[in-house]
A and B are shown apart, each in its own frame.
Chain A
Amino acid sequence: MTRAVAPRVRGLTALCGAGLIAALASGQAELAIIVLPFALLVALGLADRREPRLSATIELERERVLEGAATGAILAFRNDGDRDVTVELELLTTRRLEVQPASPLVLRVGAGAREQLELSVFAERWGAHSVGPVQARARDPFGLVIWTATIGPSVSLRVFPREQRLRELIDPARTQPFLGTHVARAKGEGIEFADVRPFMTGDRVRRINWRVTARRGTLHVTERHPEQASDVVLLVDTFAEARTGEAGTLDDAVRATTSLAKAFLARRDRVALVDFGGTLSWLEPAFGTTQLYRVIDALLASEIAFSYAWRAVDSIPRRVLPPAALIVAVTPLLDDRSLALLLDLRRRGRDLTVVEVSPLGHVAPGPRSGDELAHRLWRLQRDALRLRLQSLGIGVAPWSPDGELAPVLEGVNQFRRSTRHAARA
């Protein structure tokens, strides 16, 4: 531990010196006698050189919690020294974690003893947080010498984003030949009726439609649509965000992406993740609960990294963007680079949908007279951009974070169906 003399030692020393000098100069012994206890205090306090030997451990009740939930923590101190120590401690945590009781706290640990504190850690925001270490400050018995050190471990606390339950999702245009829940356009083994056709060599006997066969006099079989899975790529735009205080569009984008990932994976689709922004990172497509935790862990590390780099589709490995995948871009549509990516993907014939995380709640018009007009122009510009994307066949779902995501996705589904009908016509 680092030793330092308390600032008041100088003051006490000056007081004692002044008293003694005044006593010598004036010949009045009472001036010296009145400062004598202070001199004794300073001497006794500074004479103690024993360094406190403290160690600390931190244990969390749970290492994973949901946003807005709390978890208990036990902070244990051990004093391996030979005297009692009064320690003032401050638990260091990442931002957006609230600890109760709040720091600083004062604890007294006997020689060779162990003391523990029970704390409650409340997570305001998703992320990969850390609890600890502890900034400890111990004093000698008279408070004249201060020992400081940072002790204890840093324990990881993963706070998962709040999610919305989604019963309706975006229907992909194409499926993959894996078992899933989407009725495929192709014909094969399945439940949904597709067609009846004449029997051909190689058809299975169990597929013979006896009713049609009896009516027509020749063998006919029933064809069905198989249930297949689809590939979904969730593209999170981390180029830019709109932020007010502690809340921003990135926070909402991560929550929306988590909800979408959970819902698609529950539907037995294969989900990939691309964090497209100042830093580029990705997860290859996979199924199941393990992939959900991988996606959430990757999202917890999402942050806006300012960069001038211009990224294109070519920056993303091909194995992360399967050709027939449904790409769901979660973006506030604030950066030209993300817009260029969306247009490029559409030109390449990709099945693309945009969930627009509305920044309007974070951007209020300024106080000056022209600011309201500028704000309206900006909103009109955004509406024009949305129309441009829709004219290219990209479904855009403007979503306000304080609203439900499911109705917005249903609107996109209607748009996609109407676009497909129009294309066939």
Chain B
Amino acid sequence: MVAAISILLAVAAGSESAVQVSIALLALLILMRHGDRLALAPVYAGGLLIVSELAQQAIELRGVRSVAAWVVGARVARALAVAAFGAAVGAAATLAVRVAPGRSVAFTALGAAALLMALGAITWLARRQAR
């Protein structure tokens, strides 16, 4: 409830960063409450993405006097597609985790390397020029 209200307040204030903080808070609260968090994580992940995208679009369209047809629908449809794809990938990751032998230094190092590569890739994508 608290996180939901904070998302609404963030949208009302037009603050994108507040939306993301509220999404993070909502994610934490959801994970803390549920027992079988691993099984439900992909579903919650997809749902959080849709909430985030809807909140973001509400902020972007604030003050806009006229919106052509399908502008909102197209973006929501894309968000749903990414959410579904992300949930599917998340489900596959969940299966992999259940099958995996458990924590180890090697797996942790691999995870850290993957994290750094992912962040590096995002930075590179953000900085490269247009085609």
**A contacts, CB < 8 Å to B:** 1, 3, 5, 7-9, 11-21, 23-24, 27-44, 46-47, 49-51, 84, 86, 88, 101-108, 115, 141-143, 147
Bound-state CA distance A115–B122 (Å) is 34
16 further A-B contacts with Cβ under 8 Å, apart from A36-B45, A40-B82, A106-B66, are A8-B20, A9-B122, A17-B119, A18-B24, A33-B90, A34-B90, A37-B82, A37-B87, A40-B86, A49-B131, A103-B65, A105-B67, A107-B71, A108-B68, A142-B79, A147-B130
A15/B78 in contact, CB under 8 A: no
Q: Which of B19, B66, B82, B125 contacts A142 (CB 8 A)?
A: B82
Give the distance in Å from the alpha carbon of A294 to the alpha carbon of B70 in the complex.
Answer: 49
Check if A36 sits within 8 Å of B93, measured CB to CB.
Answer: yes
A34 touches B125 (CB 8 A): no
Q: List 9 A-B contacts (CB under 8 A).
A: A8-B19, A30-B94, A34-B45, A36-B93, A38-B52, A41-B82, A50-B130, A84-B74, A142-B82
Question: What distance in Å separates the Cβ of B18 from its nearest Cβ neighbour in chain A?
Answer: 9
Task: Please state if A142 and B130 are interface contacts (CB–CB under 8 Å).
Answer: no
Contact A21 to B82, CB < 8 A, known contacts A29-B97, A31-B31, A33-B45:
no
Q: Point out the residues of chain B lying under 8 angstroms from A108, CB to CB.
A: 68-71, 74
Contact partner, A38, options B49, B75, B112, Cβ 8 Å: B49
Query: Distance (Å) between the CB of B70 and the closest chain A CB?
Result: 6
Q: Is the interface of A mostly helix, strand, loop or mixed?
A: helix
Query: Hey, which chain A residues are within 8 Å of B2, CB to CB?
Result: none
Which residue of the partner chain A has the closest CB to B72?
A106
Given A5-B126, A29-B94: A23 in contact with B64 (beta carbons within 8 A): no
Among residues of A, the one whose C-beta sits closest to the C-beta of B115 is: A20
State how many angstroms separate the Cβ of B24 from the closest Cβ of chain A. 6
Q: A7 vs B20: C-alpha distance in the bound complex, in angstroms?
A: 11
Q: With A24-B111, A34-B45 in contact, do A43 and B125 touch (Cβ < 8 Å)?
A: yes
Contact present for A11 and B115 (CB under 8 Å) = no
In the complex, chain B residues whose CB is within 8 Å of the CB of A30: 31, 37-38, 41, 94
Q: In the complex, which residue of chain B has the Cβ closest to the Cβ of A107?
A: B68
Quote the shortest CB–CB distance from B130 to chain A (angstroms).
Answer: 4
| In the bound complex, CA of A197 to CA of B110 (Å) | 124
Q: Residue on B with the closest CB to A14?
A: B20
Q: Assuming the A-B contacts A30-B41, A37-B49, are A106 and B61 also in contact, with contact meaning beta carbons closer than 8 angstroms in the complex? A: yes
Report B-chain residues with C-beta under 8 Å of the C-beta of A46: 122, 125-126
User: Contact: A106 with B68, CB < 8 Å?
Assistant: yes
B6 interface residue (CB < 8 Å to A) = no
Checking A18, A51, A104, A107 against B131 with a beta-carbon cut-off of 8 angstroms, the contacting residue is A51
CA distance A32 to B44 in the complex (A): 12
Interface contact B94-A33, CB-CB below 8 Å: yes
Within the complex, what minimum Cβ distance (angstroms) separates B12 from chain A?
17
